Amino acid sequence: MKVLFDQGTPAPLRGYPQEHTADTLAEKGWSDKDNGALPDLAEHEGYDVFVTTDQNLRHQQNLARRQIGIVVLLATAWPDVRLRTREIDEAISLARPGKVREVSIRVPGDGDRHICKGP
């Protein structure tokens, strides 16, 4: 799978998708693009999945018509995210066009457990 990471996605995560090719917006020169244009650009460039931390993306756009899957990380702090790389990789693998999967990142010992939501 070809994966595109949004601005807020922790950069070190790029090295963790085991079976995927990952690029960042900065690498593509798209850092200045607004969220409305990013899914279009990603689809045009042949990406399968767009990974973002923008929890409002699903409310800002009609994602059902998209040719890419969307994975939303519900946290941005690398120390917490790095503990959930396996779950994030799984969410990327399970992403489907027009569908949104959310990966909740919880700090160990906070009483919550990891949740991955999606169809």
pLDDT tens digit sequence for 85-113 = 989 999 999 999 999 999 988 655 555 44
Q: What is the pLDDT of residue 113?
A: 45
Q: What pLDDT does 8 receive?
A: 87
Q: Is 109 helix (H, G, I), strand (E, B) or coil?
A: coil
pLDDT recorded at residue 61: 76
Q: What is the largest CA-CA distance in the chain?
A: 42
Task: Look up residue 29 and give its DSSP letter.
Answer: T
